[in-house]
Structure 1
Amino acid sequence: MQTPHQTPTQIDHSLQNILQQQHNYQAHALSVDQAQQIIQAFIQPVQESEYVNLLSAFERILAQDIASPIDVPAHDNSAMDGFAFNGESLHTNGDLSLTVVGQALAGHPFLGQVQRGECIRIMTGAVMPNNCDTVVPQELTERMPTENSNSDQIRFSTHRLRAGDNRRLRGEDLSLGKIALSKGKRITPADLGLLASLGLAQIEVKRKVKIAYFSTGDELRSLGESLDAGSVYDSNRYTIYGMLQSLGCEMIDMGVVADDPEQLEQALRRACEQADAIITSGGVSVGTADYTKQIMSKLGEVEFWTLGMRPGRPMAFGKIRSQNHSAYLFGLPGNPVAVMVTFYFFVRQALQTLMGAHTASLISIPAISKKAIRKRKGRTEYQRGIVTKNAEGKLEVCVTGSQGSGILRSMSEANCMIVLPDESSDINAGDMVQIILFEGLI
């Protein structure tokens, strides 16, 4: 998964340079900002691409810039229903009367000539005829009786109109050769329409990245199995599935792996052979049965494994190798909320980079804390919140209740994340805090 001009050794050396440049870098105690920077600098996008039909391109990542093969629109055309005429007639003050000599519909242009003192009835999107550059909206005109029953006349005030009004110019949306969509763009519904307007039936997109994922723990049971003393149902794989699905990844569900070093090593080797990246949940803390970091070190490198944050303090990142394959590895905590927090604030952007997609930092907005929030200085905390508007139209937020990292209901009920940075301490009611909305994220 290296770039064409970088060998794995060169990438590893580059990573060491990045780590050395980090202020107070310690693999076992990393700040959120440091971890995010290291991951983003380390991840290399996939290089392979494929051509797909337009209807299969939704939410895929463009592999190349799309240059417009045509002018859009292809002709000057009317922006509304009305009457087209030459704007030079507007030099007169007061009312202007014009004789209607024909009409133009979308797809059916007027082929005659429009002389001074004349106009044609024109519909939205219809081609503007020669010698016409202005459209008066239909609702601003009145029909005038004429002695000749074969022709109509209209009259309107010139005070509300200027030459060139209500005309869309050729190439106004896109001119021939202009970049319509850039490499790395995730295709949206609007993009599908734009590409169709250019007449493109196929486009080149990045191949889907392959993500293998599994949960670890002797206490985990799959759905359909009975629960015995001390066991719980594995929810993390379903949460991870949903988060990966929203990114458009190709997923490899490897089930549950027991707390056994040999089984974990075999699972990681199999995953490495099949996937670009691996996501595990559980097994990255300091418990006697937590083997992920140990096996990662054996198969590759562990770049960090503990973060100054809550929830999600035990998180490992690195790369493992198996024969001629390599894969990035994200070892997430076992607690359900911590899985989601670490995914959204670390893994999500990393996978977007791996896909070759444009990436941007999550947008935070200010809100008033309705109640006091306890916060320990020196670590970043992510509290689950419910944001609403008060009577004055200002955003107010409160936590969802108990913020334990095992209480998945706190994520299900929330509509935002309250982000409390390292340097902050206890929050008082009425203080401003930063929030990140779940809309567009989850």
Structure 2
Amino acid sequence: MTRTNLSDIISCLSGYDPDAMSVTQARQVINDFVPPLATFEKLAIRSALDRVLAQDIVSGINVPANDNSAMDGYALRGDDLPASGERTLPVVATIHAGQHYAHNVSAGTCVRIMTGAVMPDGCDTVIPQELTHAATDGAVTIPAGAVKTGDNRRRAGEDLRTGQTALRRGKILRPADIGMLASLGVAEVAVQRRLRVAFFSTGDELRSVGEVLTPGCVYDSNRYTLYGMLKRLGCEMLDMGVINDDPAALEAAFRRAAEDADAVITSGGVSVGAADYTKQIMQQLGDMSFWKIGMRPGRPMAFGRIASGDKEAYLFGLPGNPVAVMISFYFIVRDALLHMMGAEQAPLPRLQVVSRSAIRKRPGRTEYQRGILSADDDGIWRVRLTGEQGSGILRSMSDANCIVVLNDDQGNVASGDLVQVVLFDGLV
């Protein structure tokens, strides 16, 4: 397999400027450079929930297998429905779900039938029991106009036909998919193996939860938010803790990550600073590019591939500010990891809602502002910002239930204008 160099992909990018990358350009480069995993495993379907399907699932049967009744009622011939008034038909049998009536139902007669029971030969219509009257064990009266020929009859293969693709490779298996697999009699499926992601924070000022917070130091929140985001994505995680601003320690951490993981995510050390050795080590170990992306928060970012011996991993170097880490992950890194997992790609749904207030915005960059979406008494959905939008205010992400996305060509927003939002529900 031919090895792709990052520089080759970047050289094909129109208007490439590492100090003025757009969000769209960054996503394109990453998607073109990062390959999906090629290995999979077989799992029982209950264990496959939220995993990525590795092979198409083709139905080996019709679902349902036979024409059946959609209602509790009476199965009859459509030709026996009265054109006017009403008609009384003799009931010749009762059929429950799981039973098969082996006889043909003659014209002018009907059978009592339960939901899911196989339609007997000769019948093409079911009238619900609540639309009939004067029912006894031996006869039922049917009024005109209650149903039409063919009503309440489920056709064989109506859900899935033999030979039809039921689920396609790349589908993230949700509860309905697990149920569909069971309806096909499938006991186990091939799924992509879990993506292994290593992550660590850099900085002498960082302390882990449980350590003493000395003057000038702060607790490291980024590893905990990364853990939560990666957990929701279904990744296998390697938390490597906090790495001090020391070249030897950083190199050892990067080498271990490259040897043990498919992808590596770091926070901090990708901007200009006297103690930021991270960029130097990244370049030493791999094929790296450093960008200033036209987004707020989350401007500085590193991306590429690092290696140790014959092992390698794809690296995402994120800024150090807590909100910038989360925004960079959700709107750039998340799609890349899904691509590596072999998952089908679909953009995050955006809703258009009314802004409750004016929002200052400078054209030329994409801004992601934290919002609280709610409906007024008139049923109109409106969004307000959580308050101060600094990239270090993690509380703004905790208070929010959506992200207001202001595209790069957009300017100031007036109160009452429509804005786009991405809901946290389903994302976080």
Alignment root-mean-square deviation, CA: 1.3
Residue from 279, 282, 287 that aligns with 1:301: 287
Provide Cα deviations, 1:74-124, integer angstroms capped at 9, x if missing partner: 111000100011222136433122111111111122233321111111110
Matches within 5 A, 1:9-24: 11-12=4-5, 15-24=6-15
Which has the larger displacement, 322-331 or 428-437? 428-437
For residue 373 of structure 2, what is the aligned residue in structure 1?
387
Q: CA deviation at 1:20?
A: 2.5
CA distance in 1 between partners of 2:407 and 2:279 (Å): 27
Provide Cα deviations, 1:349-401, integer angstroms capped at 9, x if missing partner: 10000000001111212122211112222211111011112233222111101
Provide Cα deviations, 1:210-237, integer angstroms capped at 9, x if missing partner: 0001111111111111110011111111
Q: CA deviation at 1:297?
A: 0.9
For residue 304 of structure 2, what is the aligned residue in structure 1?
318
**Ranges in structure 1 where 5+ consecutive residues have no aligned partner:** 1-5, 146-150
1:202 and 2:197 correspond = no
Which has the larger displacement, 383-392 or 173-182? 383-392
CA distance in 2 between partners of 1:371 and 1:163 (Å): 57
For residue 335 of structure 2, what is the aligned residue in structure 1?
349
* Paired residue type of 1:141: T
* Paired residue type of 1:79: A
Percent of matched pairs sharing the same residue: 56
For residue 113 of structure 1, what is the aligned residue in structure 2?
104
- Give 4+ residue runs of structure 1 displaced > 4 Å after superposition: none
CA distance in 1 between partners of 2:10 and 2:213 (Å): 44
Residue from 109, 134, 138 that aligns with 1:152: 138
Residue from 163, 167, 171 that aligns with 1:185: 171
* Paired residue type of 1:321: A
1:7 and 2:23 correspond = no
CA distance in 2 between partners of 1:165 and 1:94 (Å): 19
1:41 and 2:36 correspond = no
CA distance in 2 between partners of 1:17 and 1:169 (Å): 55
For residue 441 of structure 1, what is the aligned residue in structure 2?
427
SS in 2 for 1:212: strand
SS in 2 for 1:19: helix
Provide Cα deviations, 1:222-254, integer angstroms capped at 9, x if missing partner: 111111001111111110000000110011111
- Residues 133 and 142, structure 2, Cα contact 8 Å, conserved in 1: yes
- The number of aligned residues is 428
CA distance in 1 between partners of 2:65 and 2:389 (Å): 57
CA distance in 1 between partners of 2:235 and 2:299 (Å): 26
CA distance in 2 between partners of 1:331 and 1:289 (Å): 16
1:63 and 2:62 correspond = no
Q: CA deviation at 1:136?
A: 0.5
- Residues 336 and 407, structure 1, Cα contact 8 Å, conserved in 2: yes
Q: CA deviation at 1:17?
A: 4.3
For residue 432 of structure 1, what is the aligned residue in structure 2?
418
* Paired residue type of 2:99: H
1:361 and 2:356 correspond = no
1:53 and 2:44 correspond = yes
Residue from 222, 228, 238 that aligns with 1:252: 238
CA distance in 1 between partners of 2:290 and 2:139 (Å): 80
1:289 and 2:284 correspond = no
For residue 148 of structure 1, what is the aligned residue in structure 2?
none
- Residues 290 and 300, structure 2, Cα contact 8 Å, conserved in 1: no
CA distance in 1 between partners of 2:146 and 2:104 (Å): 26
SS in 1 for 2:134: strand
For residue 3 of structure 1, what is the aligned residue in structure 2?
none
- Residues 293 and 305, structure 1, Cα contact 8 Å, conserved in 2: no
For residue 227 of structure 1, what is the aligned residue in structure 2?
213
SS in 2 for 1:142: coil
Q: CA deviation at 1:144?
A: 5.1
CA distance in 2 between partners of 1:207 and 1:197 (Å): 24
- Residues 69 and 117, structure 2, Cα contact 8 Å, conserved in 1: yes
1:243 and 2:243 correspond = no
CA distance in 2 between partners of 1:21 and 1:44 (Å): 18
- Residues 30 and 304, structure 1, Cα contact 8 Å, conserved in 2: no
CA distance in 1 between partners of 2:68 and 2:92 (Å): 18
Q: CA deviation at 1:29?
A: 2.4
CA distance in 1 between partners of 2:129 and 2:173 (Å): 38
Q: CA deviation at 1:337?
A: 0.4
- Residues 312 and 339, structure 1, Cα contact 8 Å, conserved in 2: yes
Residue from 149, 159, 168 that aligns with 1:163: 149
Which has the larger displacement, 71-80 or 376-385? 376-385
Provide Cα deviations, 1:36-75, integer angstroms capped at 9, x if missing partner: 1111111100000110011100001111000001110011
CA distance in 2 between partners of 1:169 and 1:344 (Å): 44
CA distance in 2 between partners of 1:383 and 1:117 (Å): 69
Residue from 59, 63, 66 that aligns with 1:75: 66
SS in 1 for 2:81: helix
* Paired residue type of 1:184: G
CA distance in 1 between partners of 2:135 and 2:407 (Å): 71
For residue 411 of structure 1, what is the aligned residue in structure 2?
397
Which has the larger displacement, 29-38 or 238-247? 29-38
CA distance in 2 between partners of 1:300 and 1:289 (Å): 20
